[in-house]
Structure 1
Amino acid sequence: MYIALSDIALIILFLLAAAVGVYLILVLSQAFKTLCRIRGILSAQDSAIQQSLAQLPGLLANLNALTLSLKQSADMANNTLDSWQTEVAGTVDDLRDGLETITLYSKAIGEIIKALFSK
């Protein structure tokens, strides 16, 4: 009584198929238990979930109003900074003109004093 290699291969394949089948059954059992736990949690929190979903449109409306308000505030700040920059540039130009005028007058006064005291 001899065992052929094909018989050994068939036995090995059968044992592998049985092991994979048992493993799949265990994995599916754990997945089913996990899904049952998730269903229990969702059932326990159903009223809170429904309340949260009911408040969602109001929350989105408030969020839209907030973004519009933020945009308006940013636009106002931008306009303020632009006008401030223009005013600062104007003040600097006026100051430069004033300093040039003072420099011109001081040179003229210096020339006049030099002319008066040089004789």
Structure 2
Amino acid sequence: MRAEVIGRLLLGEREPVPGFVPALRLRNAVVSGALDLSGCDVPYAVIMTDCSFQEALRLEAASTRLVDLSGSQLPALLMQDAQVDGPLRLSLFFIFCPRRRAGTEGEPLRDRWRLYALAPAAGWGWC
């Protein structure tokens, strides 16, 4: 799914349907492109579980409701000065970080990445 489409939906391009709770709910989606909601007021819950992001999710200085990225994988989550008015769920959340070491220039890209997870008991992993 294109990040541009997700951004437009989260920022209210479509009117909510009466009788339903508005939210973005995605599961097992591959998000292509940059999802940049920096400085935006996101009026809906963002529920993107078990999704794979090709680029960083940017929520700097954004105001959001519930954010659930449980089980999702992304290169970075940027949330400096963000305000989440509901739960922030990041269980089994994965961030891929480049691993730099001598002699990696000829290796395939996938062999130069390490997996880090944020889980309730594990804390952040660092590159």
TM-score (norm 2): 0.17
Which one scores higher on RCO, CA 8 angstroms, separation ≥ 6? 2
Q: Hey, which of these two has a bigger chunk of helix by percent?
A: 1
Q: Hey, which of these two has a bigger chunk of strand by percent?
A: 2
Largest Rg, 1 or 2: 1
